[in-house]
Amino acid sequence: MKIFQSYLLLVQRANISADKAVQCQHSLKTDNIVMCLCCGVPLELGAIAKSHSLEYDHHLFISMDPFSQGKFWIFPDNKSYLSSDDVTKELIDIERSLRPVFTKESSHEVLMKRSAVDAVLGGDYIPGRVPLTYTAIKDTHNDIYILISHIDDIVKQLISYYPQEDTPLLNHTSLLIKKLWSPWLFRPYVAPLAIEKFLNDEFSLVPTDVRSFFVWLLNQLERESAQGKRIRKLFQGKLLNNHKKTSFIVLPLKLELNSLLSKEDVQFDISHLIDTAPWSVVTCPKILVIHIERFSSGTLNDALVVFNPELLSVGDSSYRLIAASTINHHVFTLDTLTSRWLKFNHLEVKEVEKDEIVVAKNIQLLIWSKL
């Protein structure tokens, strides 16, 4: 016990990152990984962790296994303690930062609050309004991560999801959402490094444009689990095109420029674009996603698309806008608890008036919720 207490004094929280991919720095393996609580390095449990302990005089490690109760290790003694043990109580903040866990009750509590909390290493933030850093990854992926983490139907399903060994993509997706809503962060921002590394390692070709990546992600989640099927079903509707019914996840709307008008004079009404499309919506999804196709032969059409965020009629259904993104990676989300709009711009998150969305240039993805 005294030895454990002495090792607690050596813990360096500033070196610990909850965003790193769980992979041994030496063997590159991803199973049976522990993180050194002195330097933050992920290592394979066993000989590699023991060697690190002896070489650097670092002794306290935390298990990174997502499928078991939190566990701490002492090396080179090879002793373990559970996070429920009295001796590990001082480390609960580390475990919560790495693997935030929500019950249905605690998830409801955090989703119903909008008060600032202190990050462990300084600064404050509001859970659910956490910026997602754009660091050496694809910006369009970040746009989608922010968008889906602010769709109530998805957040409520995944914030209390317990990871399963046969649902790795869902595990990564739910963990990212949990962190973005966590009141226990070390830093007032989150980096999606782990999920991006997983995608790069596990899939040979991951789309980079926002529409394709969104559809691809939903399709992969559907293939993986029943939970993923339920998520994808939220967005699935049916079109009638040339007397044939087809399913859709995203409605594509093309912008056709009139050469007789100057570029500054052109604007498109979204309802008119839907009404004049070569298809009609016959089954409306619970969540309607519209993609504005702004590129033609590599040329950008930056004409303004006009819409009423409070009401969009499609088929026999009515919708309210809940999220949108632009081609320059500004993401807007509606906080349905406060009815306030948020704008995510890299590390900046701020409240904006809905008029800023209506006049935003180059809106390309709009997400609507059925009323």
Same domain, 51 and 157: no
- Band (189; pLDDT cuts 50, 70, 90): very high
Identify the band that residue 67 occupies on the pLDDT scale cut at 50, 70 and 90.
confident
Q: Per the domain annotation, does 209 fall within a domain?
A: yes
Q: What is the C-alpha to C-alpha distance for residues 11 and 39, in angstroms, rounded to an integer?
A: 8
Per-residue pLDDT tens over the stretch 323-363: 999 999 999 999 999 999 999 998 999 999 999 999 887 99
Looking at the DSSP bridge assignments, the partners of residue 42 are: 35
85 in any annotated domain: yes
Say if residue 91 is in the same domain as residue 146.
no
CATH code, 151: 3.90.70.10
Q: Which two tokens stand for residue 129?
A: 């309004």
Q: Give pLDDT tens digits for 151-182.
A: 999 999 999 999 999 999 999 999 999 999 99
89 and 144 together in one domain: no
- 355 and 228 in one domain? yes
Q: Could you tell me whether strands 317-326 and 363-370 are parallel, antiparallel, or unpaired per DSSP bridges?
A: antiparallel
Cα 232 to Cα 24, 47, 154, 164, distances in angstroms: 33, 43, 10, 19
Residue 93 — pLDDT band, cuts 50, 70, 90? very high
For the chain, the residue count is: 371
Residue 348 lies in a domain: yes
Query: Tokens representing 8?
Result: 């607690």
Cα 261–262–266 angle (5° rounding)? 75
Note whether 95 and 146 are same-domain residues.
Answer: no
Which domain covers residue 46, as residue numbers? 2-99
Same domain, yes or no: 348 and 247 = yes
149 and 228 in a single domain? The answer is: yes
Q: Point out the domain boundary residue: 99, 121, 149.
A: 99
Asked if residue 183 and residue 85 are part of one domain, the reply reads no
Is 114 within the bounds of a domain?
no
Whether residue 293 lies inside any domain: the answer is yes
Q: What angle do CA 353, 359, 365 make, to 5 degrees?
A: 95
Number of domains in the chain: 2
Kindly state the greatest CA–CA separation across the chain.
Answer: 83
Question: For the chain, what is the mean pLDDT?
Answer: 92
Phi, psi of 153 (to 5 degrees): -65, -30
Higher pLDDT, 239 or 299: 239
CB neighbours of residue 259 within 10 Å: 5
Q: For 46-75, what is the mean pLDDT?
A: 93
The upper half-sphere exposure of residue 275, i.e. CA atoms within 13 Å in the direction of its Cβ, equals 7
Same domain, 71 and 184: no
pTM for the model stands at: 0.93
Task: Specify whether 69 is located in the same domain as 171.
Answer: no
| 220 has a pLDDT exceeding 80 | yes
The answer on pLDDT for 201 being more than 70 is yes
On whether residue 118 sits in a domain, the answer given is no
pLDDT tens-digit map of 98-132: 999 998 888 888 899 889 999 999 999 999 999 99
The pLDDT tens digits for 243-270 are 899 999 999 999 876 554 555 667 899 9
